[in-house]
Amino acid sequence: MKTLLRAIPALLLALASHACLAAPSVDILEPLSLDTRPLSGRSLAELEAALGIGASARSPWYALDWRDGELHLEAFRGLRERPGTFDWKRPEADTRFAEPDYAQPPLMVFRVPPRGDGPEGGRLETGTMPGLNVDETVRDGWRRELDLGGRRWILRADAVKAPGGRSLPGSMRLTVAGESAAPQVVLGRHAGLVFREQAVLWAGDLTGDGRPDFLLRRTLATGEVDHILSVSRIDGTYAATGVTHDPDKPDNGFSSGIEESEYEEWRRANSPRPYPEYRLPEARPATPAAYALSGPMKVKGIAIYANPQGGLLAPGVKRDFVFAFAGESYRMLAELVPTWQGRQEGPSYFPQLPFGLYGSGGGLTLVVSVQHRGVKQALLVTQALMDDGPMTLSAGDLDGSGRLSIAIDWMPHYNNAMSHAWTRAQEPGRLMKRTSSFQSQGC
């Protein structure tokens, strides 16, 4: 009896500790962009407060990493300030930036925000998460049994078939079911998306509610990679968030036309005092960019796709032509590919891509690809109908490097022109590497 009485305080402490670590009431997952941000006159503390980061935040942020087949979760360290390069042409510009306080940024940062008017968001365990390293590519009919904490679950993949029996791009769906739990959609279908590969990386109980959570990976047809976290919600359904990584790391640019210059004029006119002007000596005369518009330049502004007459779309190859560069033959294809369209069920994640890439569906998606010596690579995936046209292509030594470059220009939406460029890759099994993406938005 005395032994039991002595054990009661410890038991109560354990129960209290367990209550503090109870499973959070997950409604949604909220991601945090890891992009570098200009401080624009604010202090670092002011920016963090605006983002809900820090001790006063109602919901803690977590940094998730996937390393060596293990899922790691830690409290997000916050942001750090770094100075930018002083621009003598724009001395009024704020040259301070805020970036994540990591030597190598985590895979993603997210939080479980409060539900409704709740006092605070969900708190998660940190460290190396126990679970299963699945790391399997999924296709239609794929099935995997999971044993998590003594409970058995079945994870399945299914896709919608096109005429002829092939799976429709964008139609893959993942569902999970337990011995006494009805099937739930872990990641739903998404209209207009075309993937090279889809995989399940990890399964485990991240939120501590007894139901499995998942880390997924999708590789788009054009090479960008999505990592998606899908966790069980309080009602048994799933919520998802994700991040998109482009391994090519192209230069991204944006111009908003007259609005940009008007804003600069307004900013200077409202300055409390005029800015001094500096003239710096130049070490050598500027070298103009070299464009080889003759010789190896074989394609310039060639129309490869335009809206069909009357807006009537039909699948199939719309342009197929060959050009030569440095004695090598390259084939360009522009084709309308059937993709899934339908009502969204379950959580989804649309990749974080430059404007105009991929699309919302409609049953057909435009895919532009290049083919050389038996290797075919998708360069561009976008919507089938555009606000203006035609889509044009240039190819040759566009940057004076002596290597093949390809540029595609089109206008997917009113007053928004896109220009993308690729350069010949220096690696086996791959033809082109993305080098730039530029969006020009009119006034």
pLDDT tens digit sequence for 406-430 = 999 999 888 889 999 999 998 888 9
pLDDT confidence of residue 112: 93
pLDDT at 300 over 60: yes
Joined together, the tokens standing for residue 129 give: 């998460």
Distance separating alpha carbons of residues 340 and 189, to the nearest angstrom = 8
Joined together, the tokens standing for residue 366 give: 């435009």
Alpha-carbon Rg for the chain in angstroms: 26
User: pLDDT category, 164, cuts 50, 70, 90?
Assistant: confident
User: pLDDT category, 228, cuts 50, 70, 90?
Assistant: very high
Q: Which residues contact 146 (CB under 8 A, 6 or more apart)?
A: 132, 152, 153, 154, 155, 176, 203, 212
- HSE toward the beta carbon, residue 423, CA cutoff 13 A: 15
Distance separating alpha carbons of residues 286 and 208, to the nearest angstrom = 61
Nearest Cα residue to 413 out of 434, 382, 437: 382
Residue with the bigger pLDDT between 176 and 281: it is 176
Distance separating alpha carbons of residues 34 and 54, to the nearest angstrom = 16
Joined together, the tokens standing for residue 155 give: 């994870």
pLDDT digits (tens, 9 = 90+) for 215-224: 999 999 999 9
Give the lowest-confidence range in 137-141, 168-172, 383-387: 383-387
Q: Which alpha helices (H) appear in 325-430, and where do they start and end? A: none
Q: pLDDT > 70: what percent of the chain?
A: 82
User: pLDDT category, 175, cuts 50, 70, 90?
Assistant: very high
pLDDT confidence of residue 5: 42
> Which residue is associated with the tokens 């896109």?
418
Enumerate helices (H) and strands (E) in the chain, giving the number of each.
3, 27
pLDDT digits (tens, 9 = 90+) for 18-68: 334 467 888 899 999 998 888 877 889 999 998 989 777 888 999 999 999
User: pLDDT category, 107, cuts 50, 70, 90?
Assistant: very high
Joined together, the tokens standing for residue 40 give: 């624009």
- Tell me the C-alpha to C-alpha distance, in Å, between residue 375 and each of 253, 370, 405, 443: 30, 8, 17, 41
Residue with the bigger pLDDT between 375 and 12: it is 375
pLDDT confidence of residue 268: 46
pLDDT confidence of residue 88: 65
Nearest Cα residue to 217 out of 64, 435, 437: 64
Residue with the bigger pLDDT between 83 and 270: it is 83
* Under 8 Å between Cβ of 70 and 128: yes
185-189, 264-268, 305-309, 342-346: range with highest mean pLDDT: 185-189
**Whole-prediction pTM:** 0.84
pLDDT at 10 over 80: no
pLDDT confidence of residue 117: 63
- The mean pLDDT value of the chain amounts to 84
pLDDT at 121 over 80: no
pLDDT at 70 over 80: yes
Distance separating alpha carbons of residues 180 and 38, to the nearest angstrom = 51
* Under 8 Å between Cβ of 241 and 31: yes
